[in-house]
Structures are given as C-alpha cells and as structure tokens.
C-alpha cells in the first residue's frame, strides 16, 4: 500500500498496523487509497468554488472580460456551424483588434468553452464552465501531490485552496488562466517523469490556449539547470533535458505559426510581453492587474503562500541530491513566480499554488525521516537484547527500550495524528477567512443585468454595425456580450486604441475625462466626436452618433448636454445613452428628469434628428 494517507500513516506492512484488528487495517487501507483521496479532494474543491462562483448571479469577477470570452466562444461555434471559422471580429474597428488584425490569443480556451454556451440561460452556462475549469486547475495540483506519493495530501490541498485570497478571486474569473494551470502542471509532471516526448504536443496546445505558454518554457529551462547542477557532467540525462527544452520551444513555435491568426499574433504577443512589462511607465491607464501590490497587501493577501515559501526554503537541504531534484526545481520556479507576482498582481493565480507545492516537496524528506525514526519496528531479538542495546526487561534500560515496539509505534502514531490534525485546522482557518472575504468581494460586483437595458434600447433604435462612442474601455466586454453587432471605440485594453492611433486615443481620453476641454471644444463636442471617430470610407463610412456612458463619467455627461449637441434618450441606474443631434440646439434644462425607461419619444425626435 502506498504511503499517501491523510494522517501520514505508514505503509500497511509496517509495525503497528499488524497489531490492529483486521477490520481497522482494512478501514485504514481504504482511507489511504488514491481513489478515496481523489474523490474527497474533488468534493472539497468543488464545494469551495461552487460557494464562491455562485456568491453572485453575474459572470464572475471584478472586470467584465468573461462576458467577452463567452460571447466570442458562442460566435466561434456559430462560425464553425456555418463554415466561417474563425468569424470576423468587427467590434473594435479603430484599434489593433480591427477585423484585419484581430488575434484570438485564447483560441483553444474559447473552443473549450463552447459546450457551456449551449445552456438555455447563457450566464448560468458561463458560470458552470468557469467553476469547472477552476476546479480542474486546483485538482491538477492536488493530483500532482498524490501522484508523487507525498504525505498528507489533504493537508496540502487545504493549503493550496487557502494559499491566497487573490488566487481564489482570480480562479473564479472566466478567463484562460485556469486551463493554463492544468497544462502547466501536466508539463511539470512530464518533466518529473522524464516523458519528454509529450512536451511537444503539450506546448503546441498551450500556445493555442494562452500566452502563458512561456511559463512552460521557463519550467523546461529550470529543469535543464537542475539536471546540469546535479549531474555535473555532460551525460545522457543532461542531453535528454536539453532535448526537452527544444521540444517545448518547438511546440510553442508551432502553436504560433500553425495558427489562423499568424503572423498578427506575433504583434499582439509583443504588446503583451513588452509594452505592459515595462516597470510603471504605462502611457495609459491599464487594468489594475498590471500594477504591483503594496507590501502589506502582498503579505496579507498571500500569507499562506509566503509562509509555504519560507517553510520550503528552511526545509530544503541538498540541491545535489537525486531525491531533491523536484524540490530544487520547484524552489526555482516558485521563486520566479513570487517575484513576478510581487511586481504584477495579475500573476496571483500562479504563484500561490506552486509555493505550496514547493513546500510539500521540500518537507517530504523530513516527514519520511521522522516517521521512520519513530515508527520503525525493532529488529527481531536473537540475543535477549533490544536494538537499543539493553537487555529486555533490564531495570536500567531506557524508557524507550522498556516500551514494547508496538506500543511505541502507537504512541508515535497518536502524536502524528495530533500534529497533522493541528496543521489541518491551522491551514483551514485562512482558507475559511479568504473564502469568506472573496465571497463578499464577488457578491459586491455589478448585477448581472447592468447595462442590459441600455443595450436593448440601442438594439431597437440603432442600426446594425453602428459605431458606439463608449466612454470607458472596460465597459466593452459587457456591451459586446449584450450586442456584438455594434462597433465600439475602445475595449479590452486601452493600449489597443493607443497603438493603432495615438491621436484618437488622446482625444478619446480628453473627451471622456472632460476636465481639460476648452470652452470652444465643449461647445462643439458633437462635431468633435462625429468628425473624428469614424470607420469605413465613402458611402460605407459610419461615424459615432450614440454615446454609451456609465455614471462615473459625470463631467463628460454634463459637457455633452451643455454643448447643445446631445439628447439623453435612455437613462437607468447603471448607464446613460446620448444621441447626437444633426444640428446644435438648446441645451436641455439643468437637473431635468431623464426620459422614463429611456423611451424614444416624439419629443426626443424633435430635439434630435
């Protein structure tokens, strides 16, 4: 029987088990079986992430990106069915994601999401898909612990789940990082087992799934370094590890080349790897995930992960020892992820679980030595003495020597149970706390129907293909989710507009922020938008006539109405829609109530077109 018990017991053949009744031995064997441990772990993971995912009725979490991902997955399926794959992406024509240059760098991830778009309630399908992928990500880490026959796998599972609050939060987002963790764990498993040939197809699929394939490349390089460090000579093991690096790089290259978006995907890769990783010199405001934590935020949010790193560093002993090769690799890999996560919080989904895995592998030799010391059976007595050197029953013998071996084993097992149980409780406490805090954060996000009313109004009153002037780039995913038939000025990332047309980007920022506009620019705000934000040529030219704004852009809202160029045609608690007039008119009275339910009344028509 393999030593994978939840309480750290010894193999069935060791002393202590033999003195138990057969019934208890059978129960212990069942509890230590891989199947039971895997099922128990799956139930725990599923329960925690179900609780978090359904803390809100919205597609989780924080930003709206998941709404874009699931709508695009649905459009991919429609394209497959109609023979137009991949379909044209027409929603951001003024950016580097215009129809000609668009790149889906989550292609395989979007394909994997397709079955969840078949649900009658689209948002429910999206949430179940996100829940399943998050569960698979954590389960893959837990599987690696069990596959490697580490002691106390359920304890390590609790540590992984509760490793960091941002980890729980980001795992509940409908994004590709959950699948990327699964692929990364598979890659590490292939490295550990020296099944290098599988790294080529894995890297190929990874590259089609997400740009984080470069973490797999880093893992292969670290494995090569560890192998060279331990072998200290150019032998077969080193050559094979070098081949493994080549296979990962080749698979990655194939994933970028054998790609429907090649070569434009290389340009997008440049934007992701170069523009955003420059330390703090963004020329525009990007998502908060690309900014660093403060020191206290990092310590508070990732406490368990950082404690795991400290425990791993202390426990790790000999990097040149064969049995420590995996721990040495995880030391290097998790340290890299820790440094990167400290700089960019968007890596919070990678560092915490691998920090715990590092601790698990580094502590395992200590755990095994302790168990062997305190639970090993004494040798058979042939000369009337124990293995401690004192005659059996001699009054001057030590207390351990006088204690029968089975009793000592039972006592050691009892202490082991107490220590492991205490560790389990201590690790469960931050898990419960982080889960509770994360659930509250998720519950506080926008309601699932926010922006629905405004987009339904536009769907009834604006022409298909209309260019909508949206005031905030991060509102785009939800606008696209509710109506992908419109085009929008900015979305997914402000750098996409900046890279395509810096002048338009700066003008958009100036108009929407509204604080630096001159009086004559406010007076001519309608033509300023209409004459600059256009797509197409000749009779196919379309210019922005409608603006969509959340209620955080009050200066823009006031400037637009004060200019005499706009009428408010829709208003609710989440958004406002303004329609541009053909000619400048009288501004609406200040503090006038908005049109009830945003009806396009005759009065609106008289003020507008």
- As a whole number of angstroms, the distance between CA 92 and CA 600 comes to 27
CA angle 175, 181, 186 (to 5 degrees): 140
pLDDT in tens, 549-590: 998 889 999 999 999 999 999 999 999 999 999 898 888 776
Single residue among 368, 393, 418 that ends a domain in this structure:
368
Structural domain boundaries, residue 580: 452-607
Does pLDDT of 257 surpass 90?
yes
576 and 474 together in one domain:
yes
Report the number of distinct structural domains present in the chain. Answer: 2
Structure confidence at residue 539 as a pLDDT band (50, 70, 90): confident
Does pLDDT of 402 surpass 90?
no
The answer to whether the beta carbons of residues 106 and 179 sit under 8 Å apart is no
Is residue 178 one of the residues assigned to a domain? Answer: yes
Is residue 378 one of the residues assigned to a domain? Answer: no
135 and 269 together in one domain:
yes
Residue 50 carries which DSSP code? H
What's the per-residue H, E or C state across 166-183? Answer: HHHHHHCCCCCHHHHHHH
Residue 385 carries which DSSP code? B
Is residue 527 one of the residues assigned to a domain? Answer: yes
Minimal CA–CA distance to 472: which of 238, 246, 252, 286? Answer: 286
Whose structure tokens read 């990332």? 493
Minimal CA–CA distance to 291: which of 337, 338, 341, 352? Answer: 341
Q: What's the confidence (pLDDT) of residue 291?
A: 63
Backbone angles phi, psi at 439, to 5 degrees: -60, -40
- As a whole number of angstroms, the distance between CA 320 and CA 374 comes to 27
Does pLDDT of 7 surpass 90?
no
Structure confidence at residue 437 as a pLDDT band (50, 70, 90): very high
Residue 498 carries which DSSP code? H
Is residue 121 one of the residues assigned to a domain? Answer: yes
181 and 283 together in one domain:
yes
* C-alpha 254, offset from chain centre: 24
Handedness of CA 5, 8, 12, 17 (dihedral sign): negative
Is residue 398 one of the residues assigned to a domain? Answer: no
Average pLDDT rounded to a whole number, residues 379-406: 46
Average pLDDT rounded to a whole number, residues 347-359: 93
342 and 478 together in one domain:
no
Is residue 535 one of the residues assigned to a domain? Answer: yes
- As a whole number of angstroms, the distance between CA 498 and CA 507 comes to 10
- As a whole number of angstroms, the distance between CA 361 and CA 323 comes to 10
Is residue 151 one of the residues assigned to a domain? Answer: yes
Rounded to two decimals, what is the model's pTM? 0.83
Q: What's the confidence (pLDDT) of residue 298?
A: 75
Query: In which region does residue 500 sit, left (phi positive, over 0), alpha (psi from -120 to 50) or beta (all else)?
Result: alpha
361 and 461 together in one domain:
no
Is residue 391 one of the residues assigned to a domain? Answer: no
Q: What's the confidence (pLDDT) of residue 272?
A: 66
356 and 487 together in one domain:
no
* C-alpha 222, offset from chain centre: 23
Structure confidence at residue 284 as a pLDDT band (50, 70, 90): very low
Single residue among 368, 398, 428 that ends a domain in this structure:
368
Pick 64 or 132 by higher pLDDT: 132
Q: What's the confidence (pLDDT) of residue 433?
A: 93
Does pLDDT of 43 surpass 90?
yes
Single residue among 318, 350, 368 that ends a domain in this structure:
368
pLDDT in tens, 447-499: 888 999 999 999 999 999 999 999 999 899 999 999 999 999 999 888 889 88
């Amino acid at each position: 029987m393999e030593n994978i018990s939840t309480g750290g017991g010894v193999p069935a053949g060791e002393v202590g088990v033999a003195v138990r009744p057969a019934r208890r031995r059978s129960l212990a064997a069942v509890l230590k079986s891989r199947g039971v441990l895997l099922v128990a772990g799956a139930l725990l993971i599923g329960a925690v992430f179900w609780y978090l995912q359904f803390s809100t009725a919205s597609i989780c979490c924080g930003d709206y990106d998941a709404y874009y991902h699931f709508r695009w997955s649905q459009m991919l399926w429609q394209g497959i069915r109609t023979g137009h794959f991949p379909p044209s992406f027409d929603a951001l024509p003024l950016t580097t994601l215009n129809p000609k240059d668009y790149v889906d760098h989550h292609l395989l991830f979007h394909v994997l999401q397709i079955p969840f778009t078949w649900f009658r309630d689209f948002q429910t399908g999206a949430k179940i898909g996100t829940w399943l992928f998050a569960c698979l990500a954590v389960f893959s880490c837990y599987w690696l612990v069990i596959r490697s026959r580490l002691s106390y796998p359920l304890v390590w599972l609790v540590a992984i789940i509760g490793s960091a609050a941002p980890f729980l939060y980001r795992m509940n987002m409908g994004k590709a990082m959950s699948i990327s963790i699964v692929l990364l764990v598979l890659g590490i498993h292939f490295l550990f087992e020296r099944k290098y040939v599988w790294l080529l197809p894995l890297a190929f699929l990874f590259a089609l799934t997400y740009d984080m394939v470069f973490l797999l490349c880093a893992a292969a390089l670290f494995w090569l370094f560890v192998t060279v460090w331990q072998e200290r000579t150019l032998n077969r093991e080193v050559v094979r590890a070098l081949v493994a690096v080549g296979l990962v790089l080749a698979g990655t290259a194939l994933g970028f080349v054998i790609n429907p978006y090649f070569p434009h995907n290389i340009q997008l890769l440049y934007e992701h790897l170069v523009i955003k990783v420059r330390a703090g010199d963004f020329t525009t405001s990007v998502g908060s995930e690309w900014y660093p934590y403060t020191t206290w935020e990092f310590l508070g949010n990732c406490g368990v992960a950082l404690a795991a790193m400290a425990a791993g560093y202390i426990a790790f002993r000999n990097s040149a020892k064969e049995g420590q090769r995996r721990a040495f690799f995880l030391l290097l890999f998790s340290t890299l992820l820790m440094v990167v996560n400290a700089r960019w919080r968007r890596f919070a989904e990678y560092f915490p679980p691998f920090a715990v895995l590092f601790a698990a592998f580094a502590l395992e030799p200590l755990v095994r030595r302790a168990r062997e010391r305190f639970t090993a059976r004494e040798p058979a007595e042939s000369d009337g003495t124990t293995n401690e050197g004192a005659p059996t029953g001699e009054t001057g013998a030590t207390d351990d020597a006088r204690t029968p071996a089975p009793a000592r084993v039972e006592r050691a097992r009892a202490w082991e149970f107490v220590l492991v149980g205490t560790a389990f409780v201590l690790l469960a406490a931050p898990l419960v706390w982080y889960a509770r805090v994360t659930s509250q954060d998720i519950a506080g996000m926008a309601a699932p129907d926010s922006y629905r009313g405004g987009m339904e109004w536009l769907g009834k009153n604006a022409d298909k293909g209309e260019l909508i002037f949206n005031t905030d780039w991060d509102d785009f995913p939800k606008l696209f989710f509710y109506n992908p038939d419109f085009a929008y000025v900015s979305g997914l990332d402000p750098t996409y507009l900046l890279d395509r047309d810096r002048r338009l980007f700066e003008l958009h920022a100036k108009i929407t922020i509204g604080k630096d506009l001159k009086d004559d620019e406010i007076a001519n705000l309608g033509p300023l938008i209409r004459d600059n934000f256009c797509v197409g040529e000749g009779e196919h030219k379309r210019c922005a006539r409608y603006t969509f704004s959340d209620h955080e852009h009050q200066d823009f809202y006031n400037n637009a109405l004060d200019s005499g160029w706009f009428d408010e045609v829709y208003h609710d608690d989440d958004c406002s829609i303004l329609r541009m007039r053909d000619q400048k008119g009288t501004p609406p009275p200040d503090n006038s109530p908005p049109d009830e339910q945003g009806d396009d009344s005759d009065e609106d028509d008289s003020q507008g077109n």
